[in-house]
Amino acid sequence: MKVVADYEKCCSAGQCAVLAPDVFDQDEDDGVVVILDAEPPAQLHDAVFQAVTACPGSALRVIR
Which pLDDT value is given to residue 14?
97
d(CA 50, CA 16) in angstroms, rounded, equals 8
Query: Which residue type does 26 have?
Result: Q
Cα 53 off chain centre by: 10
Which pLDDT value is given to residue 9?
97
d(CA 42, CA 30) in angstroms, rounded, equals 30
d(CA 1, CA 57) in angstroms, rounded, equals 21
pTM for the whole structure: 0.95
Question: 24: domain range?
Answer: 2-63
d(CA 57, CA 2) in angstroms, rounded, equals 19
Query: Which CATH number does the domain housing residue 9 bear?
Result: 3.30.70.20
**Number of structural domains found in the chain:** 1
Structure confidence at residue 63 as a pLDDT band (50, 70, 90): very high
pLDDT in tens, 4-61: 999 999 999 999 999 999 999 999 999 999 999 999 999 999 999 999 999 999 999 9
